[in-house]
Structure 1
Amino acid sequence: MSSQKSTADATTARSPQRERGRLRVAALMKAASLVFAEKGYEAATMTEIAARAGASIGSLYQFFPSKEALADALLAQYAEQVEAGLGAITAGAAALAAPDLADALIDLLVGLKDERRAVMVLFEARREATAPPSELRDAMRRAIARILALHAPGLPPPRAAAMAVAVLQQMKAAALLSVEPDLESRDEALAELRRMTRLYLAAGLAPA
């Protein structure tokens, strides 16, 4: 029994109870996200992550007893951030003009670009221990299809589902462009992709 408990403790993050602790955890997770994105999962060390956050190694281990626990916490946090972002868009979908809806969807993953870079690394490294990325992808498609249906109530469900796949691809493309190194025309390219998404939704969601 005790050996099972110690194994669980080694892979489970500890939730802070006070505001100071929550701020510390947020800083540690932000640092971890950057280090994982830059170095990869295997090369990243807890010592480097603590140093990047300006914290002691003891403070890091206080909340994350292992690198695995830290990685899994980042994956869970990203899924929660995406879910919250899509939930906020869902709440206002019916009232948004198509161009504004397009902007909101594009901005979601672009706004999480740093987190997304780390998550792509961690999904690969932790694929045997965590839910596959396809689960998050499918959940996002369903949420986007619901958003489109709320905006255009007459939209047939099969078309909403198909459009959701296309829109998610555009969202991912925008996120990739936003972090592509040495791309001199990044802002212009993102503007073009945003314009494409606006035109696509304006045409696809227009009343028949």
Structure 2
Amino acid sequence: MDEPRRQARGQRRMVQLLDAAAVVFAETGYAKATTNAIARQAGVSPGTLYQFFANKEAMAEALAERYRSELTAAHDKAFDPGTARLPLPELVDRMIRPMVEVNLENPGFKALFGSGDLPDKLSAPTRALQQAVTGRVSNVLAARYPDLPADRLETTAAVATQIFAALLGTIVSTPAAQRERWITELNQALVGYLTTLEQDTGA
């Protein structure tokens, strides 16, 4: 087998193993997870797993890096101050969809990185990135409403983020055929809330 094909097969195996690890970590917690359980979930032997990862910490570290990379990309797409002057429903839609997509593509990651038993060196950077959402929302709102007082801006961004978080679990767990209805409800809830700023600032 030539080298490019071997590398591609190895990359697919790593993705398979990490996907299995995400499931096991989310179901049992990091502390109780074992490499044997991860191997079973992936449908491979423990020996195959050890060809790619030395232990479960190495797998959690790889998952953390993958999740951070995908979250960063989603944030950059969702929270672009250059889109701040779009009509409010379109702006809200552009903010929420990348964030919904990254959570749909990474089932179990939120449970894993929000758990208390993952080593802090692995969970802290991801938590910081998740917590940065409010700041990113604030930047977009500041571009749209430049005269808004800082305290009002901070409060509005925090409440908007909480509205999103409150409905995210429902959206992710809802069957795909019904998901768009909940995304529409989320959009309308956020637009309704942010409309008060439109009225107060004359935007």
TM-score calculated relative to the size of structure 1: 0.71
Corresponding residue for residue 4 of structure 1: none
**Alignment partners' CA distance in 2, 1:88 and 1:39:** 32
Residues 1:57 and 2:46 are matched in the alignment: yes
Instruction: Using the TM superposition, give the Cα deviation of residue 189 of structure 1 relative to its aligned residue in structure 2, in angstroms.
Output: 5.3
Match of 2:25 among 15, 36, 45: 36
Report the AA paired with residue 115 of structure 1: N
Corresponding residue for residue 112 of structure 2: 121
Instruction: Using the TM superposition, give the Cα deviation of residue 71 of structure 1 relative to its aligned residue in structure 2, in angstroms.
Output: 1.6
Higher helix share: 2
Deviates more, 1:22-31 or 1:107-116: 107-116
Report the AA paired with residue 177 of structure 1: T
Q: Which runs of 5+ in 2 are unaligned?
A: 1-5
Distance 1:125 1:151, change over 3 A: same
Q: How does 1:1-208 map to 2 (within 5 A)?
A: 18-91=7-80, 93-94=83-84, 96-111=86-101, 112-113=103-104, 115=106, 117-123=108-114, 124-132=116-124, 134-179=127-172, 191-205=184-198, 207-208=201-202
Give the number of equivalent residue pairs. 190
TM-superposition CA deviations, 1:61-112 (whole Å, max 9, x none): 2332111121232223222222211111234523533212222333334321
**Alignment partners' CA distance in 2, 1:205 and 1:135:** 30
Contact preservation (8 Å) 1:155, 1:205: no
Corresponding residue for residue 3 of structure 2: none
Report the AA paired with residue 107 of structure 1: R
TM-superposition CA deviations, 1:153-177 (whole Å, max 9, x none): 4444433322221122122222222
Report the AA paired with residue 130 of structure 1: L
**Alignment partners' CA distance in 2, 1:151 and 1:116:** 33
Q: Percent sequence identity over matched residues?
A: 31
Q: C-alpha root-mean-square deviation of aligned residues, in Å?
A: 3.3
